[in-house]
Structure 1
Amino acid sequence: MKLVLTLIITALSGLILCAGAQTMNRVEVDGQPLFMNGGNIAWINFARDIGTGEPRLDLFEALFKDVAAHGGNTMRMWLHTTGALTPAWDGSTVTGPGEFAIEDLSAILDLAYDHNVSLMLCLWSFDMLRIRNGPEVTERAFSLLTVRDKTKSYIDNALVPMVEALRGHPAIAAWEIFNEAEGMSVEFGWEFNKHVPMHYIQQFVNLSAGAIRRTDPDVKITNGAWSFRVLSNKAPDQKAEGEPVGPRKSSDWMTVAEIEALRRVMEHTYGTSFTLDEAKARYDETANRGEHKNYYNDEALIAAGGDPDGYLDFYTVHYYSWGGTAISPFHHDFSYWELDKPTVVAEFYVEHTFDIPGNDLYQVLYDRGYAGALGWQWIDHYRKRLRHPHNWENSLRGMRRISENHREDVKLIFSSGKPEQHINTPVNTPAERSGMDRKQ
């Protein structure tokens, strides 16, 4: 009898531990812990989906309907992106969210709500410092990141009014501060961008997150990391036992197939041809400039900006084949990275990834303990771009498979009612919400 009781207790303990681990690897949306099952829009009209007064609501609705029909629950959408249209500017000072920005975003969120799809709202991208944007757009964005008074003008006059106006909308899965900000960093940045030190990026994330949290304490906040190189203290390029002493190049981890994949990505990114050796050299030059660590944990962000409320609720990370298998979420369990928050893989091509078939990628992320899978991207499908012609169809198949196999972890039914639109931006926003006076 004692043996039977012992076995029962052991089994129940295992179930409890398993349930606890699963909850740890979920993101709460409208009170429901979810595996984020979906994809990236990421835009219909680049940097202009909000702020025109004429968003393509017909396309957004068709997209949300398609996602819902395949069991998806989350889509990722970019907002300001470069800052060319929104927010509103007076020189390098932000004066408001931009005409129609809140109205347009509210209408899109309402459509998502109608189809039980939530939106991860990404404010900015590394594209804000693209040199080709022209000096007006690039220089004011540079000031926004590096001059605290300019950061404050954005937070007080644009970010807080947007969050306040949309506070409590159940279709907001999260506010995301940056898309791959490392691409405009001194430590990791790409040649086509102007660069700022990672410190300024961390500071901006901290101050923005703190302002969002004080304005809407219930909403989730995240940030889109370019790769695990900037999200994990577990260095992916540690030497194997017995290797010679001395620095090891990042590309030394790669197989010939992985270097070939890297070469193709670089040719697409830079618009010029590369040999395998040139691709390796360019990658090593970029990857080895910055320290590989978690730049976005609570301690790092608060140290950079000084706002104790400026932390993330969950992490998001991106993966493409240039990273090989060493920093691949498809080849490592979530626990491998030793992270302290749920982590969503929020960009990846849904195609054969070294030894893993494309149709298995969503399921692999689920099985390995991640908090979500968001394939890249719908707009390529809509525009009929040939580089990845089946990516969106494969994403939908992945969503459906997860929905059929794990419905209880992905089914989103909004329990909160759709709020009325709040389109009147406050004239005077309390300065203390920005948290800018906490650290000079």
Structure 2
Amino acid sequence: MKMTSSLFGLVSMNVFVLIVLTVFVQPASSNRLTVSGTSFMLNNNKVFLSGGNLAWINYGCDYGYDFYPNTKPKVEEQFKLMKQAGGNTMRIWIHCECVSSPLINETSGYVIAPDNNGKFLGDVKDLLDTAEKYDILVIPTLWSAGKHPRLHGLINDTKKLQSYIDIVLKPLATKLKGHKALGAYDICNEPEGILIRHSVDTDPCFDTRGVNFGIGWHGAFFDYKHMLRFINLQSAAIKSVDPGALVTVGIWEGKVITDKFNMVNRYSDDCLRKAGGKKEGVLDFYSVHGYSNAIGQTFDSLGVFKHSAPDYGVNKPIVVGE
């Protein structure tokens, strides 16, 4: 694939494959990562993001409670290895699918605290402090689309989601505001995993009739309208606290970020605003995943390894997040 300055590769679980860079700047200055057109900027220079998708040490049990003393040395070792290899960015999962955090009232489904002992926010801050020592940018992925009913409650019910926003997300964004190691917030990993195929809607943003997306591999629970609302409200909440923060989503495949090829960009500003109603609740760049077919070892014809960034016709940077 022809790589541009708006693309980077992140590979999963402790194994890092680094792409040869045409432009590289170490992220160690007072300036934050920003977006200009289809490029990332740092220290007034274009920067090519390259690194790995660590994901987790213990799925959903890395931050808050008393998990972090076990997590930190293992993550720090990966920061060291990435620094030695010349990488500059790491994607790390935070809540996963409500395995442990945030703390939710099991009767009402409302979020009541980040965790059970007040350590969660400090743990995530320390994660970024540690990354900064190695000149690594962190992309914290808040959620992963899965089957857990606690997560589903937040997607279904905006009041429950607002309890998370007020009690966890805004305090977290406040604590991390301006941090040099904060690359961007990734709202959710592969939302398509729990979407309904052939969902009927008069709006193309939400309608999936007649198109075999291959979605719903974790089960058919939500339509695009619910999921995009979930993303829109959280993105807007982050930006209300930290207007300089970048926000993205770990999108399943390139086919859903473009209006070309007879497709619909489900994550356009327009679609996100229609779903959630929040003007600021949009994405600053697209983080798209790319996997080959397990049987034929071939990539989807609209996948990121079959195209260069301009082929998708979008006006934001694109990264390869997995």
**Shared fold (TM-score greater than 0.5)?**
yes
**Residues 144, 110 of structure 1: alpha-carbon distance in 2 compared, 3 angstrom cutoff:** same
> Which consecutive unaligned segments of at least 5 residues does structure 1 have?
1-21, 130-137, 239-291, 348-440
Partner of 2:11: none
Partner of 1:35: 48
Shift of 1:30: 7.1
**Residues 320, 165 of structure 1: alpha-carbon distance in 2 compared, 3 angstrom cutoff:** same
Partner of 2:31: none
Shift of 1:79: 0.4
Partner of 2:13: none
- Aligned residue identity for 1:335: P
Q: 1:208 aligns with which of 234, 237, 240?
A: 234
Partner of 1:299: 270
**Residues 30, 93 of structure 1: alpha-carbon distance in 2 compared, 3 angstrom cutoff:** farther
Partner of 1:97: 114
Shift of 1:191: 4.5
Partner of 2:253: 227
Count of residue pairs brought into register by the alignment = 262
Partner of 2:131: 112
- Do 2:62 and 2:94's aligned partners in 1 also have CA atoms closer than 8 Å? yes
Look up the SS of the partner of 2:76 in the other structure. Answer: helix
In the TM superposition, what whole-angstrom CA distance separates every residue of 1:28-58 from its partner, at most 9, and x where no partner exists? 4576542111011111111111113342221
In the TM superposition, what whole-angstrom CA distance separates every residue of 1:153-212 from its partner, at most 9, and x where no partner exists? 111111111111121111010011010011011135435435111111100111100000
Shift of 1:24: 3.5
**Residues 124, 85 of structure 1: alpha-carbon distance in 2 compared, 3 angstrom cutoff:** same
RMSD (Å), alpha carbons: 1.9
Shift of 1:305: 0.4
Q: Does 1:84 align with 2:84?
A: no
Partner Cα separation in structure 2 for residue 231 and residue 175 of structure 1: 18
Considering only CA atoms, is the larger Rg found in Structure 1 or Structure 2?
Answer: 1
Look up the SS of the partner of 2:60 in the other structure. Answer: coil
**Residues 30, 81 of structure 1: alpha-carbon distance in 2 compared, 3 angstrom cutoff:** farther
Aligned ranges for residues 1-400 of structure 1 at < 5 Å? 24-28=37-41, 33-55=46-68, 56-91=71-106, 92-98=109-115, 99-127=118-146, 129=147, 138-187=148-197, 189-235=215-261, 292-322=263-293, 324-347=299-322
Which structure has more RCO (C-alpha within 8 Å, separation ≥ 6)?
1
- Do 2:232 and 2:278's aligned partners in 1 also have CA atoms closer than 8 Å? yes
- Do 2:289 and 2:304's aligned partners in 1 also have CA atoms closer than 8 Å? no
Shift of 1:74: 0.2
In the TM superposition, what whole-angstrom CA distance separates every residue of 1:121-147 from its partner, at most 9, and x where no partner exists? 1000112x2xxxxxxxx2232221011
The TM-score, its normalising length taken from structure 2, stands at 0.77
Higher helix proportion: 1
Partner Cα separation in structure 2 for residue 317 and residue 121 of structure 1: 15
- Aligned residue identity for 2:226: Y
**Residues 335, 192 of structure 1: alpha-carbon distance in 2 compared, 3 angstrom cutoff:** closer
Look up the SS of the partner of 1:36 in the other structure. Answer: coil
Aligned identity (percent) is: 32
Partner of 2:24: none
**Residues 30, 201 of structure 1: alpha-carbon distance in 2 compared, 3 angstrom cutoff:** farther
- Do 1:78 and 1:122's aligned partners in 2 also have CA atoms closer than 8 Å? yes
Partner Cα separation in structure 2 for residue 232 and residue 300 of structure 1: 12
**Residues 223, 116 of structure 1: alpha-carbon distance in 2 compared, 3 angstrom cutoff:** same
- Do 1:109 and 1:119's aligned partners in 2 also have CA atoms closer than 8 Å? yes
In the TM superposition, what whole-angstrom CA distance separates every residue of 1:202-247 from its partner, at most 9, and x where no partner exists? 0011110000001001111111110012211223xx6xxxxxxxxx
